[in-house]
Structure 1
């Protein structure tokens, strides 16, 4: 199964996605990490465009075809990126679960943005202003929306796992091993 997260920066995607991946013993794939690695390999400051997402789709398909569950962590703010994850799942012959994290409390959301520390060397975090101005397409596909404003990480992960379809027997065995 492919579990594709989306949501504006500061909604808790990385923390939730990492916690869920750990709980499911799934492959964790973070677009920020891929993008930063691509940027670090370039000396001229060229805009990398969709390269991080394209690399993410390819790595996800490789792991999905091995029978592994993949948790994809990205802003996923455009319909084209969401379509890319759905296409990756389709090509790998697996189910996709799309999850949008939101933070309905503007004060909490802003505090999260302003208090964040980069955890990827060289990664420049967005400002509150850039988060507010960011293009973010409305979701048109069926997806789970979880508000992280007043919930613990554990509560959010529990809400998500309660809504996930049953994992295949191989994944269950892998988790128990």
Structure 2
């Protein structure tokens, strides 16, 4: 691996699994650039006549912003989104590879359905105007099985801070550098 290359870290998973919490902890510890698709999509909705479902526009902006950051020399870009489809996973990978970056794909899960439901039913958002999904909407959401193996972090087994440390070690390994 080449430690001089940048890294695109794509953190995905169903709503309520802990993606944003882990992403914030990782970014705070590493200084990585942070792209959050919920923020991009809600900004589009707040500033235009667009409505949910937006289709691919938020993700397309995310891919372009990630590639631009990596090409401009940003060492690490963390993109956080549900990333539910093979087509979105491939597009993130293509954006990173085309930018000369190592791509680290991460799936955040909560293996305890009772805890996952509790989180969904009791959470709030820091994005003005964002409507959070119900437990039923999370259950009904289209979410394709992976066709390659991502790094899996289980927030039913580890705290967000522990997951951020595990993620950092995986990024370091992928970049061929010693863990901090």
TM-score strictly above 0.5: yes
Q: Please state how far the C-alpha of 1:158 moved relative to its aligned partner.
A: 1.5
Q: Does 1:113 align with 2:113?
A: no
Q: Deviations over 1:77-101 (max 9, x none)?
A: 1111101100100110111000000
Q: Please state how far the C-alpha of 1:165 moved relative to its aligned partner.
A: 3.2
Aligned residues: 171
Q: Please state how far the C-alpha of 1:108 moved relative to its aligned partner.
A: 0.4
Alignment of 1:89-100 (within 5 A): 89-100=96-107
State the distance in 2 between where 1:12 and 1:79 align: 21
Asked whether the equivalents of residues 44 and 50 of structure 2 are also in contact (C-alpha less than 8 Å), the reply is: no
Counterpart for residue 175 of structure 1: none
Moved more, 141-150 or 69-78: 141-150
Q: Does 1:140 align with 2:147?
A: yes
Counterpart for residue 48 of structure 1: 54
The 3 A distance-change label for structure 1 pair 81 and 44 is closer
Which residue, 17, 20, 28 being the options, matches 1:14? 20
TM-score, structure 1 as length reference: 0.90
Q: Please state how far the C-alpha of 1:48 moved relative to its aligned partner.
A: 2.2
TM-score, structure 2 as length reference: 0.89
Structure 1 spans left out of the alignment, 5+ residues: 170-177
Which residue, 81, 85, 88 being the options, matches 2:88? 81
Q: Please state how far the C-alpha of 1:168 moved relative to its aligned partner.
A: 8.2
Counterpart for residue 155 of structure 1: 162
The ranges of structure 1 where at least 4 consecutive aligned residues each deviate by more than 6 angstroms after the TM superposition are: none
Q: Please state how far the C-alpha of 1:142 moved relative to its aligned partner.
A: 3.0
**Residue 172 of structure 2 aligns to a residue in which SS?**
coil
Q: Please state how far the C-alpha of 1:103 moved relative to its aligned partner.
A: 0.3
Asked whether the equivalents of residues 108 and 155 of structure 2 are also in contact (C-alpha less than 8 Å), the reply is: yes
State the distance in 2 between where 1:163 and 1:33 align: 26
State the distance in 1 between where 2:39 and 2:130 align: 9
Asked whether the equivalents of residues 106 and 150 of structure 2 are also in contact (C-alpha less than 8 Å), the reply is: yes
Moved more, 37-46 or 136-145: 37-46
**Residue 28 of structure 1 aligns to a residue in which SS?**
strand
State the distance in 2 between where 1:55 and 1:38 align: 10
RMSD: 1.9
